[in-house]
């Protein structure tokens, strides 16, 4: 059983983030010591890490709440979870695609840029002026 500081440290989040997750219902309110201090179980620490990892792969706290609900919903199947993961995957793929297009456009422009020309002849500015899109 850990106090909040140690649990936060092990989970890799701040103490305040822990209390915030609790308020948001992502982390069950833990038992308290006689002094009122929160006492966390190893399971709670795993939960914190779960939240953090899910966040790291792009889920919002709301998404994570849904996932956690599915986790304990007897009527939920694995495919429910997979659907959410796939939706997130789709979002990420879209972003990657747009970034790749931006990347190639910008790379093309920087490559085309001569070292020392007046701005008036700059191919990058030219390109940005021509197709605002990317």
Partner DNA sequence: CTTGACTCTAAAGTTCGCTTCAGGGTGTAG
Partner DNA sequence: CTACACCCTGAAGCGAACTTTAGAGTCAAG
Asked if 17 is part of the footprint of DNA (rule: CB under 7 A), the reply reads yes
Closest contact distance (angstroms) between CB of 51 and a copy of itself is 9
* Nearer to DNA among residue 34 and residue 72 (C-beta): 34
Asked if 41 is part of the footprint of DNA (rule: CB under 7 A), the reply reads no
Q: How many Å apart are CA 87 and CA 94, to the nearest integer?
A: 11
Residue 22: partners with Cβ closer than 8 Å, 6 or more residues away: 28, 29, 30
Interface residues with a copy of itself (CB under 8 A) are 43, 46-47, 49-50, 53-54, 56-58, 67, 70-71, 73, 76-82, 85-86, 88-89, 92-96, 98-100, 102-103, 105-107, 109-110, 113-119, 121-125, 128-129, 131-134
Q: Which of 90, 86, 50 is nearest to 71 (CA)?
A: 50
Q: How many Å apart are CA 30 and CA 38, to the nearest integer?
A: 6
Backbone angles phi, psi at 23, to 5 degrees: -60, -35
Asked if 14 is part of the footprint of DNA (rule: CB under 7 A), the reply reads yes
- Integer-rounded Cα radius of gyration of the chain: 24
Which span sits near DNA by CB under 7 A: 5-13, 89-97, 104-112, 114-122?
5-13
Q: What is the DSSP letter of 121?
A: G
Q: How many Å apart are CA 20 and CA 15, to the nearest integer?
A: 9
* Nearer to a copy of itself among residue 5 and residue 90 (C-beta): 90
Asked if 134 is part of the footprint of DNA (rule: CB under 7 A), the reply reads no
Residue 62 contact partner, candidates a copy of itself, DNA, none, CB within 5 to 8 A by sort of partner? DNA
**Do 52 and 13 meet the contact criterion of CB atoms below 8 Å apart?**
yes
* Residues near DNA, by CB under 7 A: 3-6, 13-17, 19-21, 32-38, 55, 59-62
């Amino acid at each position: 059983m850990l106090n909040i500081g140690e649990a936060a440290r092990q989970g890799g989040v701040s103490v305040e983030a822990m209390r915030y997750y609790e308020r948001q219902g992502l982390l069950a309110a833990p038992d308290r010591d006689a002094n009122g201090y929160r006492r966390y179980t190893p399971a709670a620490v795993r939960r914190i890490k779960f939240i953090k990892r899910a966040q790291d792969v792009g889920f919002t706290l709301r998404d994570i709440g849904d996932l956690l609900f599915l986790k304990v919903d007897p009527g939920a199947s694995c495919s429910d979870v997979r659907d959410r993961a796939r939706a997130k995957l789709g979002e990420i793929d879209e972003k990657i695609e747009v970034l790749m297009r931006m990347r190639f456009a910008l790379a093309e422009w920087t490559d085309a840029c001569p070292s020392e020309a007046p701005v008036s002849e700059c191919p990058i500015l030219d390109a940005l002026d021509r197709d605002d899109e990317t």
